[in-house]
Amino acid sequence: MSDVFNEEAHLNDLPLWADDEASRVLSGIAEANNVPVDVLAELVGLQRARQHQERAAGIYQRIEEILGRMD
């Protein structure tokens, strides 16, 4: 199972992923701006995974890796 799939599954409690209409709107906006939904899912998943950490050690590198997939 890929990390992207795991992160998307971890987001199923959020309205943007749980609600069909909200998911369609998100997909439309992402497509209009040339941003893959899986990139957004990874960024949100990363934020959720690290929200309780006091220090953001290594987070900028991980964000760059995720955004680098858009090139």
pLDDT, tens only, 27-65: 999 999 999 999 999 999 998 888 888 887 888 999 999
What does each C-alpha distance from 4 to 30, 42, 66, 69 come to in angstroms? 16, 6, 10, 12
The more confident residue out of 3 and 15 is: 15
Distance, in Å, from the CA atom of 11 to the CA atom of 32, rounded to the nearest integer, reads 22
pLDDT at position 17 is 87
pTM for the full predicted model: 0.75
For residue 12, the model assigns a pLDDT of 86
pLDDT for residue 5 is more than 80: no
